[in-house]
């Protein structure tokens, strides 16, 4: 195996969301302090929900006039990341903002009373920050405000048909009612409930101050088209491409190709996206069509290979060494990839895929595995 000193390695562990370790010439550089966690000096009082999550809701500022310079009103963001273990008793909770919708995810069932507390806090946030100021990039919105059983919620499974034809014309609209979705991922089952509001169709959100556009689908499936806990990784890659340090990218476990969008918008010449899922790559292709800068580069800059990675090494090697390999696999996907067992197999192939002095961006979203898990396998 090629020595670690001949390429650079960046580890992104989403258990701490922004914990990125850079390994250069065998030396480990410690990460910056974790980002996107709620401020601890909030005045919020625990009203039945977890106080750290309630603090995060209180401190969140979706209004365009209050956004940091690097955020656009349509930028999707993770508001609360309990999975990082920074807040005792909240490691089962995450809260995301896919404008105009909030998504609360719990890895254990929540009581109706606790759900109501979070819903009330989100409603207060919505009212306080000016409902009409929130910009959304979307096509024609559709309204699903039918009667909802508060105890059971409303199933969302049929409200966002992936086979529907999307318009390439993206318009700006506002939304006057709170939209929030609750997903429970417990005991091996996933249920998704629309708690209130309107889900856009198509639902398009952005990153990088509105530059990168992505299709998302909060109403079906366990995943939603864009992993917000990997925003730091996409930002890192886009910066490397914009400075010319990275020109060619191999995107493994590409899913809907968000890394590809970031790379091409940053100035990458070519990106090869590899994933077993034909459906995910189809959405990835649509993502490329929604991004003007990507389209301006012309066809052929992005390739999409719906292959089993472990049966495709030869083909990938023939495509030539690349400046950066992105590896963002699922932590556990029965029948295809289990991080503890399979990550090492991928790492052993990196030297044959990377150009000298290239970069490897290794991602891991398993809270039970730490930095040493990856370092020991390199």
Residue by residue, pLDDT tens for the chain (378 residues) are 333 334 566 666 555 444 444 444 444 444 333 333 333 333 333 348 999 999 999 999 765 434 444 567 789 999 999 988 889 999 999 999 999 999 999 999 999 999 999 999 999 998 887 554 444 444 433 332 222 233 333 333 333 333 334 444 444 445 678 999 999 998 778 999 999 998 888 999 999 988 999 999 998 888 999 999 999 999 999 999 999 999 999 999 999 999 999 999 999 999 999 999 999 999 999 999 989 878 776 666 899 999 999 888 989 988 889 999 999 998 877 777 888 888 889 888 999 999 998 999 998 887 777 778 877 877
**pTM value > 0.85:** no
The DSSP call for residue 225 is S
β-pair partners for 359: 8, 324
Q: Do residues 354 and 322 touch, judged by C-beta distance below 8 A?
A: yes
Helix (H) or strand (E) holding 180: strand 179-186
pLDDT score, position 307: 92
Q: Do residues 135 and 99 touch, judged by C-beta distance below 8 A?
A: yes
User: Which of these, 107, 123, 105, lies nearest to 58 by C-alpha position?
Assistant: 123
The DSSP call for residue 168 is S
Sheet holding 189-196, edge to edge: 77-81, 93-98, 101-106, 179-186, 189-196, 154-155
Q: Do residues 162 and 220 touch, judged by C-beta distance below 8 A?
A: yes
């Amino acid at each position: 195996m090629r020595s670690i000193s001949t390429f650079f390695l960046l580890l992104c562990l989403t258990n701490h969301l922004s914990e990125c370790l850079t390994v250069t010439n065998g030396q480990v550089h410690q990460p910056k302090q974790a980002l996107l966690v709620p401020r601890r000096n909030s005045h919020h009082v625990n009203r039945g929900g977890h106080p750290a999550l309630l603090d995060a809701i209180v401190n969140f500022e979706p209004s365009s006039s209050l956004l940091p310079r690097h955020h656009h009103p349509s930028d999707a963001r993770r508001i609360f990341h309990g999975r990082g273990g920074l807040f005792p008793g909240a490691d089962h909770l995450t809260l995301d903002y896919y404008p105009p919708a909030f998504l609360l995810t719990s890895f254990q069932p929540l009581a109706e009373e606790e759900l109501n507390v979070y819903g009330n806090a989100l409603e207060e946030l919505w009212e306080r920050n000016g409902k009409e100021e929130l910009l959304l990039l979307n096509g024609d919105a559709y309204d699903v405000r039918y009667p909802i059983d508060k105890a059971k919620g409303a199933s969302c499974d049929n409200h966002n048909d992936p086979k529907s034809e999307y318009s390439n014309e993206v318009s700006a609209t506002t939304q006057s009612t709170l939209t929030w979705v609750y997903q429970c991922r417990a005991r091996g089952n996933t249920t998704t409930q629309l708690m209130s509001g309107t889900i856009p169709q198509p639902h398009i959100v952005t990153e990088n101050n509105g530059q990168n556009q992505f299709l998302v689908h909060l109403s079906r499936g366990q995943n939603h088209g864009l992993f917000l806990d990997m925003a730091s990784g996409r930002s890192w890659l886009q910066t490397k491409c914009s400075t010319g340090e990275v020109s060619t990218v191999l995107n493994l476990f590409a899913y809907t190709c968000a890394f590809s969008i970031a790379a091409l918008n940053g100035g990458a010449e070519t990106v090869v996206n590899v994933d077993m899922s034909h459906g995910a790559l189809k959405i990835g292709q649509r993502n490329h069509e929604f991004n003007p800068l990507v389209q301006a580069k012309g066809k052929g800059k992005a390739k999409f290979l719906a292959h089993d990675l472990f049966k495709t090494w030869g083909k990938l090697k023939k495509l030539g060494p690349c400046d950066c390999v992105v590896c963002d696999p699922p932590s556990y996907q029965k029948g295809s990839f289990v991080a503890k067992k399979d990550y090492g197999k991928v790492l052993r192939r990196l030297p044959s895929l990377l150009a000298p002095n290239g970069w490897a961006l290794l991602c891991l979203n398993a809270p039970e595995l730490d930095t040493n898990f990856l370092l020991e396998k390199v």
